[in-house]
Structure 1
Amino acid sequence: MKFAYRFSNLLGTVYRCGNLNFTRDGNSVISPVGNRVTVFDLKNNRSDTLPLATKYNIKCVGLSPDGRLAIIVDEGGEALLVSLVCRSVLHHFHFKGSVHSISFSPDGRKFVVTKGNIAQMYHAPGKKREFNAFVLDKTYFGPYDETTCIDWTDDSKCFVVGSKDMSTWVFGAERWDNLIYYALGGHKDAIVACFFESNSLDLYSLSQDGALCVWQCDTPPEGLKLKAPRGWRADLLQREKEEEEEEEDEEEGDRETTIRGKTMPAEQEKAGKVKYSRLAKYFLNKEGDFNNLTAAAYHKKVHLLVTGFASGIFHLHELPEFNLIHSLSISDQRVASVAINSSGDWIAFGCSGLGQLLVWEWQSESYVLKQQGHFNSMVSLAYSPDGQYIVTGGDDGKVKVWNTLSGFCFVTFTEHSSGVTGVTFTATGHVIVTSSLDGTVRAFDLHRYRNFRTFTSPRPMQFSCVAVDSSGEIVSAGAQDSFEIFVWSMQTGRLLDVLSGHEGPISGLCFNPMKSILASASWDKTVRLWDMFDSWRTKETLSLTSDALAVSFRPDGAELAVATLNSQITFWDPENAVQMGSIEGRHDLKTGRKELDKITAKHSAKGKAFTTLCYSADGQNILAGGMSKFVCLYHVREQILVKRFELSCNLSLDAMEEFLNRRKMTEFGNLALIDQDAGEENGVAVPLPGVRKGDMSSRHFKPEIRVTSLRFSPTGRCWAATSTEGLLIFSLDAQMLFDPFELDTSVTPGRIREALRQREFTRAILMAFRLNEKKLAQEVLEAVPQDEIDVVSTSLPELYVEKVLEFLAASFEVSRHLEFYLIWTQKLLMSHGQRLKSRAGQLLPVVQFLQKGLQRHLDDVSKLCDWNRYNIQYALAVSKQRGVKRTLEPLDTEEDTDASDDDSLQLLRRPSDDEEEEGMLV
């Protein structure tokens, strides 16, 4: 399916809000990102976003003890039961209220959620198929204010709940006779976290002011006794027991009746109730009221307590002695979530203010993972020519480069002092050029990771866009205030020319990929074409009906697309300056209504338009996006809408719904005008931008959904969009699709394997690619002997060569048979190269896809070879140094001097085991 693009990954945002979790093996971190969940594999250095989304931002995530299931709860109280094995949603449930925390019992049979001032215990879903996955077991009352945290005992007999009313409540998961509930005080602020000790009922409680209370229980977990049933249950059990005993012995007289092996309450001795006593109280906060405790985690086996504070500092303590092990400041914002992996080596921290995710190894005091997205909106993006990297620029002034395979940011440039407005790669892919509102255009080297060129204008300007020609020698940028285009030389950094003529701000620049023609779009309702080398040539001016917002050349340079303010996309012939067609996209945007809008969404759509355009790799389609949650894919020649992609379904963003809820409209106005979250956010004061630290003022707002930039990958297999949610990547998921090619009834897997047995390899390959099953095509290609690849590749028809090359390009990313597929690629290109030149434009995405896989293997093999060469050089140097040292050793006695030649050759003797171990390379 050519247009079956599906959501594949979310980059640019690593943490938003909610709680962090480690997987059962401790090698991966599960981080909530808006209304999605991203899994960061720390061992294999990869990040992957699950293909599911909630209606609102995720509030909390609970993992089952076996690591197979997860319950994801959003801010509206709706829960998703997710299988982490098959990455799909198993069940939907609504808790009828905002849930603060959720936790599975260690045995995996139950889970508890805290909602309002109550705690509810549910039966966890089992491995068998059930009609209802969530069944309410008990509801626990006690706290007077909202509940905040949960923790279970190791035997799943009891759990503890903390509350904002400064109390901690211990509840029994079963009907215990000596423990129904127990309330603990001793704090002067809201409870942030509470933890049981390992295999004990002793617990720790931490409050927001940094106080830690140590509580000791006088009863071990084995001392809990089941409560005898009362009422009709007791009568029924007693009657059944009496009938059984009468059948066994009718002559026996009165005797003591038992229930479940316990005596009846009348004859039972009164059991002692569970009691708690406070052993100690410690204080973690030494910096006053403005450094509140915000998050904590405790590892029961190594007795390690991790606490995070509003100032971005975290402490490591050893309990119960309360010894400070380590303290470090990791951020300028508050630590929102803390998690420890199963071995206790890695600690994960989430900072929602800046969108940071950190994994710290406390023993070696080093970062395992340190990622941060753009804490303001991303404005622009660009793919590298081989499709391996994506560069993004944001309003925060940062330029980040992301690896599309791993999903991680590996370099961040912070030289810009204001928002970045445009980013682009040069044709070689080794240089990034960016424009900014700080009046500079900068060039960054991806080999040395430095800013090696800074282009400026004679007088201060704000640059709104940037473009680089196909040779990489000419850099141009458009100014917002002077309406001019500045042209520099990449080699010298000198200003070559200033192009004037526009009467409005420059909104977009684009170079022709095949010629030195620059197209500039402006708000003066024109698009101008400039010839960079032939200054004597007449400049073309394309007149539009409205302000131009974006401009883009087709990959072959034969067509130009322009997006205007009246929601139209017009197509032009740049050679003859003739309009070739137009697309009306007003009804395809489908914008939503903001909470404070006084007009309906239908009328507000009249003022919306496409702000970014991008041609597909083959030039037949074009992507368009703007102030909407939808991205439209159009067919250029037919001028029709092919598909519309919804980037987000997160109702926590503004302008998502077409109709507003009537319950929010009152006689005094919209309830959205009332800032309900003013004052404190999760117990921490949020200051206004620019005010002094400690100011208790705050404001709450909902960001508006919009698409700021779109780019197709050079391989044509995926496209990326920068939006309010982050950097979203959509790719072709061919594994779940049946897409045959010229299929008839004679093509079956049985006949394909029969052709292989008869050694008719060409016929088998043709039938396999007509059926278009990936595993079958792999089986057929790998069955061809290496010495016959040349003959088979020559006999393939030209139509199937493109499909075989595309399959080889996809195989380079996953297969280990590198040399075998390289031979196939070489033979195909050598035998069909001349004939494929006539279809170079259509084959360009396939060739770039092939180049991407080869380049990745080249980088990996070169790094491995460099490492091996270094190890060999080191081993030779060590052995040479030892040889010189041994030749310089003096002979001690005459016996050594008169010894035979074999004994005197100290250099040739075998080193001892200690010496071998000393020089061994790990």
Structure 2
Amino acid sequence: MKFAYRFSNLLGTVYRCGNLNFTCDGNSVISPVGNRVTVFDLKNNKSDTLPLATRYNIKCVGLSPDGRLAIIVDEGGDALLASLVCRAVLHRFHFKGAVHSVSFSPDGRKFVVTKGNLAQMYHAPGRKREFNAFVLDKTYFGPYDETTCIDWTDDSRCFAVGSKDMSTWVFGAERWDNLIYYALGGHKDAIVGCFFESSSLDLYTLSQDGALCVWQCDTPPEGLRLKAPAGWKADLLQREGEDEDEDEDEDEDEAERETTIRGKAAPAAEEQRGKVQYSRVAKYFFNKEGDFNHLTAAAYHKKVHLLVTGFASGIFHLHELPEFNLIHSLSVSDQRVSSIAINGSGDWIAFGCSGLGQLLVWEWQSESYVLKQQGHFNSMVSLAYSPDGQYIVTGGDDSKVKVWNTLSGFCFITFTEHSSGVTGVTFTTTGYVIVTSSMDGTVRAFDLHRYRNFRTFTSPRPTQFSCVAVDSSGDIVSAGAQDSFEILIWSMQTGRLLDVLSGHEGPISGLCFNPMKSVLASASWDRTVRLWDMADSWRTTETLALTSDALAVTFRPDGAELAVATLNSQITFWDPESAVQTGSIEGRHDLKTGRKELDKITAKHSAKGKAFTTLCYSADGQSILAGGMSKFVCIYHVKEQILRKKFEISCNLSLDAMEEFLNRRKMTEFGNLALIDQDAMEEGGVTIPLPGVKKGDMSSRHFKPEIRVTSLRFSPTGRCWAATTTEGLLIYSLDARMLFDPFELDTSVTPAQMRAALCQRDFTRAILTAFRLNERKLLQEALESVPWDEIGVISSSLPDLYVEKVLEFLASSFEESRHLEFYLIWTQKLLMVHGQQLKSRVGTLLPAVQFLQKSIQRHWDDVSKLCDWNRYNMQYALAVSKQRGLKRPSEPPGSEEEADASEDDDSSLHLLRRGPGDGDGPLA
């Protein structure tokens, strides 16, 4: 149970490809991120990634009208029926082909899938358990090219399908007599969107060349007639009709003239009516800014009559239909708008740009951003946890440094001062300074109070830095050079270069300071690890000889052990005091790298050239986390040197090096299909500015990123760990809510015994019984039953073995409980009574204490902001009362002084409404 880490959240990537959706309440955006789905709660400012994944990148997501179910379809045609309530997969289905779009009917009874040049209508799954959740109802043919979009009428009677053959087809969801299908032309390019008007069959169609056609229907939705059944259905319904006629004693002549349709009589006059006809009443064109400014996405809100269109240049327009009045014309970025969605009230508009991985939610009435998030354009290289575990900083190849909030999952600040790829990031011990190294030859320090770059460390001659480290005091900054094989030391206070350490004969691959001493460990490709004494003229104290190139180095949290990852897939452990190797782990068989599409050798032989590139000790120092050029992350026991658990970080086959064996289906007589340029004929195909370049500008048209783990870090609390991968920033945490993990359990320990002890006011026995059962509700009931004035006595009677468990429970309770003062009293009494005994177990108790500090720090930040706001209000009230008290009572009303005072009052009121600090800091 100690290493029962589960996937918790995905940060660093907010949108990859596919369509965006708003939930039925309009407060959350559902965004496909690779082969996962992330829900962004805009009201509560949180993001949550569902614990499910598809085999390939997600192509489209269909949301049911009640918001309970979602159909998630990937690029390979595999579909998942997921419940957004219980966050689980209910059913799996394969559509046997690439699906472009999926849409539920407004009544939720059916859904339509466009696949190839046809549309298939399925019965929607119900709330009861079914053997087959997807039952095919009808298949509609008509378009001659691939279908692109779907839209339903409000009454679910008809739906429209757009196609790349420049036509739009209107189909009936039932067997209508006067509407089987209707084809609409009038466009000169592929159809991007088609939308029905509210409570009508009138239609709007948009094409890729920026043309909008308005189609008017001569028949209302109520005018659709059901077609008379034929064959055995007609005979059966005729018998039922005859029985009804005999009971009601109707005339036979009148009965012969009636047409029975599903047991109901239809007037003969309706049979003489003509078919449904459409006529084009208007055609509009959008303002084009260049030959390649194609219309790429569109959305329409039927109640507000708001049309939103996005273009390849990043511009989006807001129009009011049917008059086609322009409301706004703004730009998101310089990349194409891939998807647009409008919430139920029509206030918020979501935009997704796949080129930059950007997600924006725009409130068009106030012209303000509700959400503006963007991940790293290229792969993330490094990460670091803040000392309290509340923040994560990441650096990427796009030269950006981003800081993420672990509670909300959002990036709240982005630093763009670097001009080249960021290679290393780290926090100082205070947690308010970030130090980064880059390939542009600079090391920069950023302040999280004022969000600025306050120090820039440079080298005497141009060089490229590959890693960075800061000592425990935060005064010494070191960085390793990749080309000059040197280590540069600066002072954080003055920013001056203190020394240049020479001695390595290869590029520096890793730096790490001893947490307890002023000793710096440097790993290099020259097969050595050198230990430098910062207190004794920066001289080399020891040189550790390795059998292969060193790729990563890290100290244990207590500084008594050193771990080094080498190129031959080994992890060696050293005693830094005696420079003696204490153990080694062979990790070649645990990496299990996959086979690339163009590899000539098998995955088994390819694994021989792979190694671990990043290491991290657990908070207690007993285990080590390792990852590298593989989809697996391994946790090893350091003392026993055995594998404890292995995590598969991704199952996305859209990434390279995922498959273990060669896919024979891709081998043809002309060669491997991976060599064929599949995206050359598509609109979103990438041009080739520089042949052979696959990192930076994605110049290869058919580009598949390789799965790898670039950095790993354990949280200081020990409850979770993070990994920067090709997918993004993955968070794995201990989800203890779904686990039954008792402690010293026997037959006499039951919930009834605990409640009986509470009735007898034997609180110590009740608490011990609850912790032996280890059920959260029982623990909360036992602790909250203790009167606040008896907490000190009960704390002193608890055994030392249970104090750590109580502290862990208190730390987790701070995040969700409202009894803040009550749990603070518990924490204070426990630390005061058992402080001396806990000092002997600092190593094991450190994660629990850091978890406790993180929870209390978060509450302290919230309460301090509230106190500052209340203090500001009181100062404002005192200033206003003093100003009114100084007025002379003899002054007539409306005098000049009173007018000035009223102006001051208005200005003070304006400041009060604005609040202290509004407008300061970055936009989250």
Q: What interval of TM-score do these two structures reach, taking the shorter chain for normalisation?
A: over 0.9
Q: Name the structure 2 match of 1:242.
A: 242
Q: Kindly indicate whether the alpha-carbon contact (under 8 Å) linking 1:36 and 1:52 is maintained by their aligned counterparts in 2.
A: yes
| Contact map agreement 1:529 1:539 (CA 8 A) in 2 | yes
2:920 corresponding residue in structure 1: none
How far does residue 252 in structure 1 lie from its aligned partner after superposition?
Answer: 6.4
Deviates more, 1:323-332 or 1:232-241: 232-241
- In structure 1, the partner of 2:922 is none
Question: What is the aligned partner in structure 2 of residue 388 from structure 1?
Answer: 390
Q: 2:100 matched to 1:100?
A: yes
Residue 26 (structure 1) aligns with? 26
The corresponding residue for 2:921 is none
Unpaired runs of at least 5, structure 1:
894-905, 908-913
Show CA shifts across 1:858-899 (max 9, x none): 111111112222233334444545555684742799xxxxxx
- Letter of the structure 2 residue corresponding to residue 7 of structure 1: F
- Answer yes or no: is 1:50 the counterpart of 2:50: yes
Q: Distance in 2 between matches of 1:17 and 1:335?
A: 11
* CA pair 538-147 structure 1, distance change in 2 beyond 3 A: closer
Asked if structure 2 preserves the Cα contact closer than 8 Å seen for 1:568 and 1:583, the reply is yes
For residue 837 of structure 2, the aligned residue among 813, 835, 839 is 835
User: Is the 2:56–2:75 contact (alpha carbons within 8 Å) kept by the matching residues of 1?
Assistant: yes
Q: How far apart are the structure 2 equivalents of 1:608 and 1:136? A: 47
2:225 partner letter: K
The separation in 1 between residues aligned to 2:290 and 2:890, in whole angstroms, is 66
* Per-residue Cα deviation, 1:485-504 (whole angstroms, up to 9, x for no partner): 00010001111111111010
Q: Distance in 2 between matches of 1:205 and 1:697?
A: 34
For the Cα contact (< 8 Å) 1:150–1:161, is it kept in 2? Answer: yes
- Deviation, structure 1 residue 264: 7.8
Query: Match of 1:370, SS?
Result: strand
Q: What is residue 815 of structure 2 aligned with on the other side?
A: 813
Letter in 1 for 2:480: G
% identical aligned pairs: 87
Q: Measured at CA, do residues 323 and 874 of structure 1 come closer, stay the same or move farther in structure 2, by a change above 3 Å?
A: farther
Matched letter for residue 713 of structure 2: R
> What does 1:152-231 align with in structure 2 at a 5 Å threshold?
152-231=152-231
Output aligned runs, 1:410-809, within 5 Å: 410-535=412-537, 539-680=541-682, 683-689=683-689, 699-809=701-811
Q: 1:233 and 1:538, CA in 2 relative to 1: closer, same or farther beyond 3 A? A: closer
The number of residue pairs the alignment matches comes to 899
The CA deviation at 1:464 is 0.3
Equivalent residue letter for 2:650: S
Which residue number in structure 1 is paired with residue 303 of structure 2? 301
Q: Is the 8 A contact 2:530 2:540 kept in 1?
A: no
Please report how far the alpha carbon of residue 618 of structure 1 lies from its aligned counterpart in structure 2 after TM superposition: 0.2
SS of residue matched to 1:241? helix
359 and 380 in structure 1: CA distance in 2 versus 1, 3 angstrom threshold? same
Q: CA deviation at 1:407?
A: 0.2
Q: CA deviation at 1:265?
A: 9.9
Q: CA RMSD in A?
A: 2.3
Q: Distance in 2 between matches of 1:250 and 1:243?
A: 11
CA distance in 2, matches of 1:482, 1:704: 29
Shift, 1:536, TM fit: 7.9
1:689, CA displacement in angstroms?
4.7
- 1:166 maps to a residue whose letter is M
1:524 maps to a residue whose letter is D
> For 1:725-775, what per-residue CA distance to the aligned partner results, in whole angstroms no more than 9, with x for missing partners?
000000000000000111111100000000000000001111110111111
* Aligned AA (1:108): G
Distance between the aligned counterparts of 1:875 and 1:107, measured in 2? Answer: 55
Aligned to 1:896: none
Matching residue of 2:858: 856
Q: Amino acid of the residue matched to residue 771 of structure 2?
A: F
The one-letter code matched in structure 2 to 1:774 is R
Describe the superposition over 1:432-469 as per-residue Cα deviations: whole angstroms up to 9, x where unpaired: 00000000000001101101111111000000000000
Contact 1:310/1:684 (<8 A) preserved: no
Deviation at 1:704, TM superposition (A): 0.3
Instruction: Give the match's secondary structure for 2:721.
Output: strand
Post-superposition CA distance 1:647-668 (Å, at most 9, x none): 0000000000100211211233
Residue 758 of structure 2 contacts residue 766 of structure 2 at CA under 8 Å; is this kept in 1?
yes
Shift of 1:696: 14
What residue identity is the alignment partner of 1:822? Answer: L
In the alignment, residue 485 of structure 1 is paired with which amino acid?
I
Query: How big is the shift at 1:92?
Result: 0.5
The 8 Å contact of residues 146 and 165 in structure 2, kept in 1 or not, is answered as yes
Distance (whole Å) between structure 2 residues aligned to residue 251 and residue 55 of structure 1: 64
What SS does structure 1 have at the residue aligned with 2:834?
Answer: helix
The answer to whether the 8 A contact 1:211-1:285 is kept is: no
* TM score, norm. by length of structure 2: 0.95
1:651-688 deviation per Cα after TM superposition (whole angstroms, max 9, x unaligned):
000000100211211233211011111142xx345333
**SS at the partner of 1:364?**
coil
Residue by residue, what CA displacement relative to the aligned partner does 1:42-85 show, whole Å, maximum 9, x if unpaired?
A: 00000000000000000000000001111000000111011101
C-alpha distance in 2 between matches for 1:737 and 1:144 = 54
Ranges in structure 2 where 5+ consecutive residues have no aligned partner: 692-696, 900-905, 915-924
Q: Is the 8 A contact 1:687 1:696 kept in 2?
A: no
Q: For 1:146-175, what per-residue CA distance to the aligned partner results, in whole angstroms no more than 9, with x for missing partners?
A: 000000000000101000000011110011
Distance 1:154 1:605 in 2: 56
- Cα distance, 1:238 vs structure 2: 1.5
Distance 1:402 1:222, change over 3 A: same
Partner secondary structure for residue 426 of structure 2: strand
| Residue 260 of structure 2: aligned partner | 259
Q: Is the 8 A contact 1:214 1:279 kept in 2?
A: yes
TM normalised by structure 1 equals 0.95
User: Which secondary structure does the structure 2 equivalent of 1:597 belong to?
Assistant: coil
Query: Cα–Cα, structure 1 residues 892 and 596, in superposed 2: closer, same or farther, change >3 Å?
Result: closer
Residue 336 of structure 2: aligned partner: 334
Does the CA-based 8 Å contact 1:285-1:292 persist in structure 2?
no
Give yes or no for contact 1:421–1:465 (8 Å, CA) kept in 2: yes
Contact in 1 for aligned 2:531/2:540 (Cα 8 Å) = no
Query: Contact conserved, 2:685 with 2:701, CA < 8 A, in 1?
Result: no
Q: Give a deviation string over 1:321-374, Cα, whole Å, max 9, x none.
A: 111001111111000000001111110000000000000111111100000000
Aligned-pair CA distance for 1:287: 1.4
Secondary structure at the counterpart of residue 437 of structure 2: strand
Tell me the equivalent position of 1:275: 277
Distance of aligned partners of 1:158 and 1:891 in 2 relative to their CA distance in 1, 3 Å threshold: closer
CA 1:697–1:546: 2 relative to 1, 3 Å:
closer
Preserved CA contact (<8 Å) 2:80 2:89: yes
Counterpart for residue 897 of structure 1: none
Report deviation, 1:231: 2.5
Structure 2 match to 1:901 = none
| Other structure's SS at 2:823 match | helix
Separation of aligned partners in 1, 2:399 and 2:250: 91
Residue 310 (structure 1) shift: 0.4
Structure 1 window deviating more from structure 2 (261-270 vs 52-61): it is 261-270
1: CA distance, partners of 2:698 / 2:630 = 35
Opposite residue 675 of structure 1, the aligned amino acid is D
Deviation, structure 1 residue 690: 6.7
Whole-Å separation in 2 of the counterparts to 1:920 and 1:548: 59
Letter in 2 for 1:259: T
The match for 1:70 is 70
> Which residue identity does 1:872 align to in structure 2?
M
Q: 1:182 to 1:506 in 2, by over 3 A?
A: same
Partner of 1:873: 875
Secondary structure of 1:539's aligned partner: strand
Give 1:399's aligned residue: 401
